[in-house]
Homo-oligomer: A and B are copies of this chain.
Amino acid sequence: MEIIVQKYGGSSVADTTRIKSVAKRIKEKVNTGEAVVVVVSAMGDSTDKLLGLAHSVAKNPDARELDLLLSTGEMISCSLIAMALQEIDIDAISMDGAQAGIRTDEAFGEASIISLDPSHILKQLASGKVVIVAGFQGVTEDLSTTTLGRGASDLTAVALAASLKATCCEVYTDVEGIYTADPRMVTNASKISEIGYEEMLELASYGAKMQPRSIELAARYNVPVLVASSTSNAEGTLIHDLSFKNKKDDQMEVRNKVSGVASEKGIARITVRSVPDTPGVAASIFEPLSKAGISVDTIVQNASAERLTDLSFTVSQDDTSNAISIVQKIATSIGAVEVVSDENLGNVSIVGTGMQNGTGFASTMFLALKNADVNIEMITTSQIRITCIVDESRVEDAVIALHDAFELDKG
């Protein structure tokens, strides 16, 4: 039995008209003879509506209660998809997270999948049914409903594909695939036809549409993921293993180019000035931030004279005031001079495999930004990515300049 997992996002099932057209697309796939499992997100803005209800009864709604509340959004869309399929003579059955066998830990609001028992789904597929699974949710040992975090219907789909040994996980969305840059910023951005997991992970972490955790999971289980449009039939982007061993065309050359430009806004930088450069200082700053649930992104520490150093890191703008007040206390206790912040930053990254082998990438990037009159505030690099923190108002210009410099419009 060849199994395909399809995932439809919230905009693809925003109303009953779109639900009916999604049902037609599923029927086309079923007619090719494959066994189909479908994962759906909540309809359009229904998750936000449920959040609104929660916040009107409680200032800080309990995470466990919020999970039961939010999980209903996906149950509604998945039962409606099943009905719409039955209406066009396709036998279908819906399942919530519990029935689909998705067992999680108790980290309500951002639970991790502990195990996935696909036996119930396999049984229904074997009887010729299309199985519709409510995305974004699972259950704990004692059957408390959990959610897997925002955007986690992607994760549900990839986890099911891995567990069911599906031939492909198809993620249908309101864009036609992954682009070399955000098409809203760069008019001549081109669609990427295929990309490796690591590159996609860097792109996803820096702005492109796909939940990073789901890419990690796909990479671990080697699940091919196709990102494509839920309304057109245009070819999408295939995310899969591009390493040498997986190559089918015997192409020995290592890919050595920039795949795309990613960007983000809404970043703040916090700098702790003149920190005594002794062991344990970094931990004393970042452990309390982590405990407060503040996600720290880029961290830069400069070497400096006289055993004093400046330590900078970036956080989401929403977390700034909270982070500053935590760091301020620590700064005083460790004898740092002051804590300063800059709240109007963004970032721009180039992503590509083989980047570590060519120093030309960094210099081309910095030159392009200079020519576009974009000042670089901070720089960080990974094996397949170079990121520059820049002024928020300059992000678009930086993306356009980099897209041109690396000739990404040529695909």
A98 contacts B65, C-beta separation under 8 Å:
no
The answer to whether residues A83 and B66 also contact, given A57-B19, A75-B72, A76-B50 and a CB cut-off of 8 A, is yes
Which one of B59, B94, B145 contacts A96 once the chains associate, using CB atoms below 8 Å?
Answer: B145
Q: Which of A149-185 contact B (CB under 8 A)?
A: none
Q: Does A79 contact B (CB under 8 A)?
A: yes
Residues of chain B lying within 8 A (CB to CB) of residue A58? 83-84, 86-87
Bound complex: CA A54 to CA B81 (Å): 10
Which one of B69, B82, B83 contacts A76 once the chains associate, using CB atoms below 8 Å?
Answer: B69
Which one of B16, B69, B86 contacts A79 once the chains associate, using CB atoms below 8 Å?
Answer: B69
How many copies of the polypeptide does the oligomer hold? Answer: 2
Which one of B68, B142, B143 contacts A78 once the chains associate, using CB atoms below 8 Å?
Answer: B68
The answer to whether residues A143 and B98 also contact, given A65-B86, A69-B75, A75-B72 and a CB cut-off of 8 A, is yes
Bound complex: CA A349 to CA B98 (Å): 47
B54 contacts A80, C-beta separation under 8 Å:
yes
A99 contacts B66, C-beta separation under 8 Å:
no
B68 contacts A54, C-beta separation under 8 Å:
no
Bound complex: CA A98 to CA B139 (Å): 11
Distance between A58 CB and nearest chain B CB, rounded to angstroms? 4
Distance between A84 CB and nearest chain B CB, rounded to angstroms? 4
Which one of B57, B83, B120, B142 contacts A99 once the chains associate, using CB atoms below 8 Å?
Answer: B142
Bound complex: CA A50 to CA B79 (Å): 11
Q: Interface size for chain A: under 10, 10 to 19, 20 to 34, or 35 or more residues? A: 35 or more
The answer to whether residues A83 and B62 also contact, given A72-B76, A75-B69 and a CB cut-off of 8 A, is yes
Nearest first, the 9 closest Cβ-Cβ pairs linking A and B are: A72-B72, A69-B79, A58-B87, A58-B83, A57-B84, A16-B56, A68-B79, A99-B143, A65-B79
Q: Does A47 contact B (CB under 8 A)?
A: no
B82 contacts A62, C-beta separation under 8 Å:
yes
Residues of chain B lying within 8 A (CB to CB) of residue A57? 16, 19-20, 23, 80, 83-84, 87
A23 nearest in chain B by CB position: B57
Q: Does A61 contact B (CB under 8 A)?
A: yes
Which one of B83, B99, B120 contacts A65 once the chains associate, using CB atoms below 8 Å?
Answer: B83
Q: Does A93 contact B (CB under 8 A)?
A: yes
Residues of chain B lying within 8 A (CB to CB) of residue A86? 58, 61-62, 65
Q: Does A53 contact B (CB under 8 A)?
A: yes
Residues of chain B lying within 8 A (CB to CB) of residue A75? 68-69, 71-72, 75
Q: Does A144 contact B (CB under 8 A)?
A: yes
Bound complex: CA A23 to CA B83 (Å): 36
Q: Does A273 contact B (CB under 8 A)?
A: no
Give 9 pairs: A residue, B residue, CB < 8 Å, sorted on A.
Answer: A19-B57, A57-B83, A59-B87, A61-B86, A65-B93, A66-B79, A72-B76, A96-B145, A98-B98
